[in-house]
Amino acid sequence: MEEEESEEEEDELHMYQEYYDALFSMDFVETKYPHDDTMRALGIFEDVEIVLKNMRLAKFFSYHLGSYKELTCEFLASMRFHKYSELDRADLDQGWGWITFLARGERKVINFRQLEILFGFTYGEGTHWDIKEKELQRVWATIAEEGFSSSRSKAAQIRIPVLRYVHKALANTFFARKATGTINEGEVKLLDMGIKPIISRSKDGKRIRGDRIHAGNLMPLLDQLLSYKTSAYNTRFQTGRKLSVGGVITPILCAAGVHLNKRRSTPAGWMDIKFCKTNLLIEHKELDGRFEFKFTHPLAGPSKLLLPNPEFTTVVGGNNIDFSPPLHTLVGHEEELREEEPELD
């Protein structure tokens, strides 16, 4: 087993420069984070906070740090994770493994327990989230529509503003994807965990169980970070490639004692009002100083709701998760309230 790992490390060292060059050739852009003032302006701040806490991602999203191109590329090109033996784990409270990486050519080591504390993750034993496919389909049908397909279903199908914004946060930061118009399986799994304490059952009445093995968020995050080097290498001849994960790596560099020169950093980006407009969360034009949220109403079809509108957008209590606000609250449907009112003699 040790010989196999040694050979694997030699292969990694051989490919290190190739990986680094492929990563460095990408456009290095800021890592975007949820923007408090924007969430307050949309009336979703407290609800987004609750969902992120349910996912055990509140601390992860709290850092708002800049990123460093050379250090990020070096980290991603060299990072590996290792497992402790059962005997070592019995004596050490360090999680079930550790990662190694290079920073300015120096080998750094940080164990899983340190990383879990750093990001506020719960202790996890598994390597992946164990949520049944049928449950993901039921959850997607509850918050969006029938028929979830990873990387093909559209983020705009998510009806409620709170979860639409949370998804953008996941796609831009935890998964740090270039194109965030679709939704992948990992993002739906996190949304499942985010709404589980709010609604115990999907709209068909079946129980939402969430992650059955309580794997925690660390290994899924590390798997995501490990994927960048091979993805960058395999697409090295393509144009328009972007690398936006640097802000996620910066806290790890700090925890490992790496000195950072802030004058050479790429500042954090924000999911502000401009971001919401360009990413189709709200219309570019405002109406009477309020924002128009576009979604597909279960009864009325393509619709718009003015924000802030906390009575109908809050997820606390679980009443609005399936998001079907009264028709008279929709832009262009105001007359329907008068039609419903009884005439007085």
| 240-265 pLDDT per residue, tens | 999 999 999 999 999 999 999 988 89
Distance CA 319, CA 325 (A): 10
Banded model confidence at residue 335, pLDDT cuts 50, 70, 90: low
What pLDDT score does 8 carry? 58
Tokens linked to 213: 């093995």
Between residues 2 and 323, the one the model is more confident about: 323
Three-class secondary structure of residue 166 per DSSP: helix
pTM over 0.75, yes/no: yes
What pLDDT score does 332 carry? 82
Cα–Cα nearest to 63, from 273, 247, 221 = 247
What pLDDT score does 341 carry? 45
Distance CA 16, CA 118 (A): 27
